[in-house]
Amino acid sequence: MSTTETPPSMGWKWDNSYSTLPHTLFSPVLPTPVAQPQLVAFNQPLAHALGLHAEAPEAEWAAILAGNTVPPGANPIAQAYAGHQFGHFTMLGDGRAILLGEHLTPQGERFDIQLKGPGQTPYSRRGDGRATLYAMLREYLISEAMHHLGIPTTRSLAVVTTGLPVYREQAFMGAVLTRIAASHIRVGTFEYMRHFMPENEWTPFVQYVIQRHYPDVLETEQPVEAFIQRVMLRQIDLIVNWMRVGFVHGVMNTDNMSIAGESIDYGPCAFINQYDPKMVFSSIDTQGRYAFGRQAAIAQWNLAILAGSLLPLLDPDHDKAVEKAKEIVNSYADIYHAKWHTMMRAKLGLRQPHADDSALIRGLLQWMERFGADYTNTFLFLGGDTTLNDGLYNNAEFTEWHQQWEQRVAAEPGGLDAAREMMQQTNPAYIPRNHQVENALEAASENGEFSPLNTLLNVLSAPYKVRPEYRSYQSPPDDGGVGYRTFCGT
């Protein structure tokens, strides 16, 4: 017999600060071991960036990332939270996720390491705590695409298949995703605090969150007020980014809104092909609450819920607290519109603001909507990619608009060349087109054929640079993809 082997460190440096908070905020729970953990996706560059030993044997990574082996120093917990789902308040919590702990990178950054789909927790209610391979690969693909698009997001370290079936309307292969996040603290965590935690625990929790994500506001005179403002600014930047690339989150419930301002929870999300502010993909969003063009307003609504949860800490005088909350929430629209305009100007290659910009931007959007033009490809066409002209851009109304735009660009320093340089950095050539995503995920999850997924991941790893061999990835589906539907929590 060999001597007792020390478990390999794998590069982890655990520091589980959330576990030091009041215990009402979480429940200790271990992942449920699975039969046959097998690593099917592993994000080498991310592992390196986190200071993890990517080169360690695959079986050891699989055991850890399936939840079969808990690494020494980790402290698995399920986090409690509540939230408004489609406008209705409810108690939630990590029903199919377990936070292994927080890892400190060699650069000293702190990240949550969370397993998604590792079995039941005290918050699972009737759910099995499991996830399908299809859904976890979907999150892996889209979150990595968002990262490379330059949009704040949780990331995906790995997907491990469990060897166990997951029963939905039929049996599917089960899988566990490893999610990396600045934290998993949500607007819904503050709703949980306000509704379910004793008052004496509110301040320590809020202090913790501020210290972790917005430490500089502790220096200000009104840290809670400043905190809400800062969350608002990050949310605005996030939504503006979503609007830039045509991303529809699909389920912007308050529990799916990160306090750190990352895109989180890739359930029914999708990217628009044809421009349409009413575009909805999620099969359960029958009212269009989370439509593409409603996302800014919904983020404001969610922010109001955050501010409402913090009222007693904003000011001891209730009326004054309400005034302060209103002032912040009411400032949202002007800030959003200014940032959205700056972003849209960048999409058109315009550096300097001009009185007519609103009309110019609206003119193009209305034209795209009327003629069913592809959002991504229209901006690429303006950026000089003439291979994308499918005849639509010969249209008389478009030509008229185009002349106005050309005149406007010509008046800018650097003219068309400078404009196009700016546009190339703003307008992606590749987005995860729904039909491409479906093909890649079906091949992987149904046939164990991973090469389409790996190619798509490769294409999306450099989305702003046209690579001629990947032309086909720029094409929308023949029918424009209008009937495409996505499903939640699969």
Which residues are near ligand AMP by CB under 6 A? 92-96, 123-124, 127-130, 255-256, 265, 267, 488-489
Nearer to ligand AMP, 251 or 456 (CB): 251
Closest distance of CB 486 from Mg ion, Å: 15
Closest distance of CB 88 from ligand AMP, Å: 12
CA distances from 120 to 28, 77, 170, 320, 337 (A): 12, 12, 20, 43, 43
Q: Are 52 and 104 in contact (CB under 8 A)?
A: no
Closest distance of CB 27 from ligand AMP, Å: 12
Closest distance of CB 265 from Mg ion, Å: 4
Q: Which does 476 bind (CB under 5 to 8 A by kind): Mg ion, ligand AMP, none?
A: none
Single-letter amino acid, residue 306 = L
List the one residue from 143, 256, 274, 300 that touches Mg ion (CB under 5 A).
256
Q: Tokens 């990574």 label which residue?
A: 61
Dihedral of CA atoms 40, 66, 433, 275 in degrees, nearest 10, equals -170
Q: Are 266 and 318 in contact (CB under 8 A)?
A: no
Segment contacting Mg ion (CB under 5 A): 248-256, 334-342, 357-365, 373-381?
248-256
Neighbour count for residue 3 (Cβ, 10 Å):
5
Question: Burial level of 369, CB count in 10 A (0-12/13-18/19+)?
Answer: middle
Question: Which tokens is 158 given?
Answer: 């790995």
**Does the protein bind Mg ion through residue 102 (CB under 5 A)?**
no
Handedness of CA 365, 367, 369, 371 (dihedral sign): negative
Residue 265 falls in the annotated catalytic set: no
CA distances from 333 to 64, 220, 243, 295, 480 (A): 45, 24, 15, 12, 32
Question: Which tokens is 289 given?
Answer: 């609450």
List the one residue from 112, 144, 225, 265 that touches Mg ion (CB under 5 A).
265
- Catalytic annotation, pick one of 255, 265, 374, 385: 255
Q: Are 131 and 166 in contact (CB under 8 A)?
A: yes
Nearer to ligand AMP, 67 or 129 (CB): 129
Q: Which does 128 bind (CB under 5 to 8 A by kind): ligand AMP, Mg ion, none?
A: ligand AMP
Closest distance of CB 217 from ligand AMP, Å: 28
Nearer to ligand AMP, 274 or 295 (CB): 295
Nearer to ligand AMP, 477 or 489 (CB): 489
Q: Which does 489 bind (CB under 5 to 8 A by kind): Mg ion, ligand AMP, none?
A: ligand AMP
The contact set with Mg ion (CB under 5 A) reads: 256, 265
- Catalytic positions, written as ranges: 255
